Amino acid sequence: MRSIFRNADYILIGLAVLLVGFGIIGIYSAGFNSSDTTEYIKQLIWFGIGAVIMLLTWLIDYNVLGKLSYVGYGVFLVLLVAVLFTTPVNNATSWFDLGFFTFQPSELMKIVYILMLAKILDKTTFKDKKSINKLKNLGIILAVFLVPFLLILKQPDFGTAIVFAFITFFMLYKAGISYKYIIIAFLVILALIPLVYMFVLSDYQQNRIKVFLNPELDPLDSGYNAIQSKIAIGSGKLTGTGLLQGTQTQFGYLPVKSSDFIFSAIAEELGFIVCVIIILVYVIMIFRMINISNTAKDRFGSIVSIGIASMFMFHLIENVGMTMGLLPITGIPLLFVSYGGSSMLTSFIALGIMLSISSRRQRSYILN
């Protein structure tokens, strides 16, 4: 027990708390003149719950979590099917409304998926690293990926589905997949893009892509979010307009300002400098996760770490990119910062797993 606490990466905890702090400030400001002024209090409660769950996850050997992931994968597949029959919210059936709180199964499925895929990759390459390139093994991996991917697309939640693809790519790369399969997958994706656009994406999602390319096509509807977000970020300049002083944030022009567009709200009121600090905190966090992957005591821990690092990387790139108009708007939250219980719990469980891996790597790390 002492070695678990002594050898853990405490800098990761500090970085996470810093991000949560920025998020709570932004959520407090975003909700100051809104219909719900208690969101920051709810976020503090989720922070407390998340911290407890992080501690429990940290204490459990991550290899035990890997063994349990098969059961978790099955349970969350059932939930992903069940959520399709719920009442749509914002044109998507992604949430269970339990009254006292809403629950998004696709968020926690990311963690279960990372653990299970890492377990499969570890078993597949245990005796021979090149065995991952056998068609039989690739077929199993593809099936494990496609089932949750297609169910999440059905909701439809294109952004979260892409997270799974992003995670899968980096985990396969870490496991040693042949470059020829990466090239083949890339070419297949390029060929499928027009088909997915025409036959898979809903009209609502197609409009988002059109508006991403030209927000002025529909400035009062589909393009409204992107335009208002860029105005908010631009008006913040170097040091911001001041807390509770942002016109876009306080007068209701900025949409979904406590969750999807929390970065825009922070940029307007706290400015460019604070935004750079937030991005740097994420970059340091991701690099420390990669370092944990490189120094993990076993292959399973190494692959899990890179999966979690890639999850944080995608959320950072997509959320910040969409608020700046550089990427299509997908509703991807900024982990630890955006308002939301499911997102907060997912982030802290992921952090707990990283701490579990880092605290158990010291002996192997010293020998290396």
Residue 271 has pLDDT above 70, yes or no: yes
Mean pLDDT across 275-297? 96
Largest separation between any pair of C-alpha atoms in the chain: 61
Q: Summarize pLDDT for 239-250 with one digit per residue, the tens.
A: 999 999 999 999
Q: What is the average pLDDT value for the chain, to the nearest integer?
A: 90
Phi/psi of residue 66, nearest 5 degrees: -65, -40
Q: 96-97 and 102-103 as β-strands: parallel, antiparallel, unpaired?
A: antiparallel
Contact 325, 228 (CB under 8 A): no
Higher pLDDT, 346 or 34: 346
Q: How many residues does the chain have?
A: 368
The reply to whether 368 falls in a domain is: no
pLDDT category of residue 362 using cuts at 50, 70 and 90: low
Does some domain include residue 215? yes
Mean pLDDT of the 221-235 span: 89
Q: Is residue 249 part of a domain?
A: yes
Q: Which residues pair with 181 in a beta bridge?
A: none
Classify residue 367: in a domain, yes or no.
no
Residue 102: helix, strand or coil by DSSP?
strand
What is the mean predicted confidence (pLDDT) over 180-200?
85
The residue segments making up the domain with residue 178 are 2-362
**Domain count along the chain:** 1
In a domain, residue 67? The reply is yes
